[in-house]
């Protein structure tokens, strides 16, 4: 919250109107309340950046009963976009920026026979590995960013996939 307030202050210096709102992606009710509060402001939304992520967590479930990495990195964002889709459509042209990672390349969600296995997205404790959970959440972000534009308000919303960049500094 402090960082958000600090960021708002630095933007306000440039004469922009900015307000910080808080949201807990690990709690779907919080996502819903955030969307309702945003809609109540009756303002346009031209850019929504889905960038929050967690990495390397021990296995935990959210209050919604889902594995935390999956819910925070993907499902919370997906749900938020769905809840704000009408605002995005009214604000057209609008952009949804989905931040992902090249780590999506190192996983899949298929079982041994090649069929999609959605239980892998929110695995049990015995099937959990933090790196794999992160990779799968980022794969979901990629799949979401490839959503056919027709489903997103007849081209009014453009989904953009942005890859995190990894920089190595050799000393």
pLDDT tens for residues 52-85?
889 999 999 999 999 999 999 999 999 999 999 9
Which backbone phi and psi does 165 adopt, to 5 degrees? Answer: -105, 135
Q: What is the CATH number of the domain that holds 88?
A: 3.40.50.720
Domain for residue 7, yes or no? no
pLDDT of residue 164 exceeding 60, the answer is no
Query: Which residue among 34, 38, 78, 134 is the active-site one?
Result: 134
Residue 62 lies in a domain: yes
> Residue 90: inside a domain, yes or no?
yes
- Least confident window among 16-20, 49-53, 68-72, 139-143: 16-20
pLDDT digits (tens, 9 = 90+) for 92-119: 888 888 888 777 666 777 677 777 777 7
Q: What is the pLDDT of residue 169?
A: 37
- Domain hosting residue 60, numbered range: 25-163
Flag whether 147 is in a domain.
yes
Whether residue 5 is contained in a domain is answered as no
When the pLDDT of each residue in the chain is averaged and rounded to a whole number, the result is 80
Any catalytic annotation for residue 128? no
CA-wise closest residue to 24 among 6, 37, 41: 37
The whole-number pLDDT of residue 63 equals 98
pLDDT at 154: 42
pTM: 0.80
**Polymer length of the chain:** 171
Asked if residue 45 belongs to a domain, the reply is: yes
- β strands within the chain, DSSP E: 47-50, 94-100, 157-163
* Residue 3 belongs to some domain of the structure: no
Q: How many domains does the chain have?
A: 1
Is residue 126 included in any domain, yes or no? yes
């Amino acid at each position: 919250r402090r960082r958000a307030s600090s960021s708002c202050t630095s933007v306000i210096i440039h004469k922009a109107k900015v307000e910080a709102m808080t949201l807990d992606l690990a709690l779907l009710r919080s996502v819903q309340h955030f969307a309702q509060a945003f809609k109540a402001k009756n303002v346009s939304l031209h850019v929504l950046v889905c960038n929050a992520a967690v990495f390397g967590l021990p296995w935990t479930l959210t209050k919604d009963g889902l594995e935390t990495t999956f819910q925070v990195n993907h499902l919370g964002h997906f749900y938020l976009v769905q809840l704000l889709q009408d605002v995005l459509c009214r604000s057209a042209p609008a952009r949804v920026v989905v931040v992902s990672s090249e780590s999506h390349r190192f996983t899949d969600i298929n079982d041994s026979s090649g069929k999609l296995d959605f239980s892998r997205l929110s695995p049990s404790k015995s099937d959990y590995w933090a790196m794999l959970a992160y990779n799968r959440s980022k794969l979901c972000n990629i799949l979401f960013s490839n959503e056919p534009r027709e489903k997103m308000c007849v081209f009014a919303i453009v989904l953009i996939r942005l890859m995190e960049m990894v920089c190595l500094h050799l000393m």
